[in-house]
Amino acid sequence: MSPLSEAEAQWCQDQLAVAGVLAEAYAGDGTTPPSLTSLDAVVAGWHGDDRGIDVNTVVNAVGVAFGEHVARDTGLSWVIATDEHGTDLALHGRPGDLLLHPANAVAKRVVEGRTPFVAALHAEVVAAVRRVRPQP
């Protein structure tokens, strides 16, 4: 694992901005990061939309915004995780050597067509992290 480079940190900020644009369009939410319910509205709106927004755009933006909420609520930190499959943006924390992949969790559910899931997944993840790690 390694900390985010400046370029990676900027990419995350760019994804939060995209999440804000999507949340404004689908939920009227101009906050950064958008609320969890607004992120749910983005996914639901995208599924029922014909604007031609690429799935990767939605997954990256919602994934990073979701991850930012998890990070803020648990004290986990953004890192680049490396394994036999390559590198990926993740959240990491100790004790417990926790490693979460927010965008992957979002991608799986978006591809499956699930809606809503963001707020519920956030609650589950935060509760699980708090069981194994003290409050930040």
pLDDT in tens, 48-93: 998 889 999 999 999 999 999 999 999 999 999 998 889 999 999 9
Distance, CA of 2 to CA of 75 (rounded, Å): 17
Backbone angles phi, psi at 116, to 5 degrees: -80, 160
Q: Label residue 135 by pLDDT band (50, 70, 90).
A: low
Report pLDDT for 61. Answer: 98
Residue 133 pLDDT grade (very low, low, confident, very high; cuts 50, 70, 90) = confident
Structure tokens at 104: 């992957």
pLDDT for position 68: 98
Q: What is the pLDDT of residue 2?
A: 95
Secondary structure of 26-92 in HEC code, one letter for each residue: HHCCCCCCCCHHHHHHHHHHHHCCCCCCCHHHHHHHHHHHHHHHHHHHHCCEEEEEEECCEEEEEEE
Using CB atoms within 10 A of its CB, is residue 74 exposed (0-12), middle (13-18) or buried (19+)? buried
Statement: residue 136 has pLDDT above 60: no
Q: What pLDDT is recorded for position 58?
A: 98
**Over the chain, what is the mean pLDDT?**
95
For 110-132, the pLDDT digits (tens) are: 999 999 999 999 999 999 999 98
What local confidence, expressed as pLDDT, does residue 85 receive?
87
Residue 103: how many CB atoms within 10 A of its CB?
A: 21
pLDDT band at 134 (very low <50, low <70, confident <90, very high): low
Q: Is 100 helix (H, G, I), strand (E, B) or coil?
A: strand
> Which DSSP category does 94 fall into?
T
